[in-house]
Structure formats: C-alpha cells, structure tokens
Amino acid sequence: MTISFFNEQIEMPSIQKTVIRNWVKQVAALHGKRVGEISYIFCNDEKILEVNRQYLQHDYYTDIITFDYTEGDKISGDLFISLDTVRSNAEQFHQSYDQELHRVIIHGILHLCGINDKGPGEREIMEKNENEALALLG
C-alpha cells in the first residue's frame, strides 16, 4: 500500500501527507475497500488540460482526473489535480482553499470506491459522501 504525492509544473501544496494517507485509508475502509497504489499528481491548468485532451479527448479544464486501476476491493489509481482550478473553485463556492483541496483529494478516492457523479442523482450521492469524508478529517 502506497499513497504518493507528486507535483508537476506547480509547487507542491502544503498538505499533511501522513494525515491525508490515514484519511484516505479510513474513507476507503468505510466503503469496503483496501488501498493499493495511489498517486496524487498536483499540477496546473495547462497540464490537466493536456492530460484531458490526450487521454480522454476532452477539451476543457477540470479540477481532477482520476485514472482507475482498481482490482477487486483494492483501490489503485493516478489522480491528477489542478491546483489552479481548485483555487478558482474555492473562490467561486466561497470555500477555503484547503477545504476545496481536501474535497477534491477525496473526490478521486470516492470515484475509485465506485461512486460516480455524472448520471441522474449521482452528483448528490457524491456530495453526501464527500461531506461525510470531510467531516472525518475534522
């Protein structure tokens, strides 16, 4: 089990890595999952747009792209997070930057746990799970 943090084309955010690792494991366990290999790649808008175009054929900015390598009950994946978009979303939704960053960090984990947010009613289920996970963080 490894949860790694990388930065590309942007400064590493000031996060408490040990706290985040323990939190991710706790949230995964609540969903009946174990943690395998998770990589967080913090980047800027240009990088996430490049990844979105190259791998998903989407031509837009986003806060997170989750590549899911989960097998059985062991979640694994690469999670690209645009800190530029996290910052603008925090302003737009009147949240602190740290709160929004934590929301996005756990959003990707919830995707790996099998929770979606594109279909009817799914966004509300995702938000409920995000809020429950954020409450665990304190």
pLDDT in tens, 38-51: 999 999 999 999 99
Tell me the pTM.
Answer: 0.96
Contact between 3 and 38 under an 8 Å Cβ cutoff? The reply is yes
Per the structure, the count of domains in the chain is 1
Domain span at residue 121? 2-137
Kindly state the DSSP code that residue 66 receives in the 8-state scheme.
Answer: E
CA distances from 74 to 14, 59, 114, 126 (A): 27, 31, 11, 20
CATH code for the domain in which residue 97 is found: 3.40.390.30
Encode pLDDT of 82-103 as tens digits.
Answer: 999 999 999 999 999 999 999 9
